Amino acid sequence: MKINSIFRISALLAVLALAATAFAKPVSKTISITQTAKVGTVSLDAGSYRFVIDGNKATVEKDGHKIAESTGRWEDRDSKSQYDSVLLGADGHVQEVRFSGKNRVFVFSE
């Protein structure tokens, strides 16, 4: 009987954890990029772009139009970011998006 109760509680906790991620709101921030960057195969000129991150999918918008899309994952950092910003790799690809006051960053898969 005791093992059956433990199994039920474990199953309930797993379902609640999955449900919590399903109801998470997308993160959306407008971030200025000061140099040419790439998301996937799309080249972004310097300017302001809206990054919309929903789960593991990131969409880049300009003037209300979707211009790029990619996938990634959330990672925790030791310290909070001071600004909303993007980190570019040596090849100009956006590697991660950082959010002001948060220690979570979105890391692109590319």
Note the pLDDT tens digit of each residue in 66-109: 999 999 999 999 999 999 999 999 999 999 999 999 999 999 99
Read out DSSP for 13-68?
Answer: HHHHHHHHHHTPPPEEEEEEESS-EEETTEEE-SEEEEEEEETTEEEEEETTEEEE
What tokens does 80 get?
A: 């909070």
pTM: 0.75
103 within a domain of the structure (yes/no): yes
36 within a domain of the structure (yes/no): yes
- The predicted structure's pLDDT at residue 7: 62
18 within a domain of the structure (yes/no): no
Read off the pLDDT of each residue in 56-73 and give the average, rounded to a whole number. 96
Instruction: For residues 28 and 78, give the distance between their C-alpha atoms in angstroms, rounded to a whole number.
Output: 22
15 within a domain of the structure (yes/no): no
Q: The domain containing residue 99 runs over which residues?
A: 25-108
- The predicted structure's pLDDT at residue 110: 76
20 within a domain of the structure (yes/no): no
69 within a domain of the structure (yes/no): yes
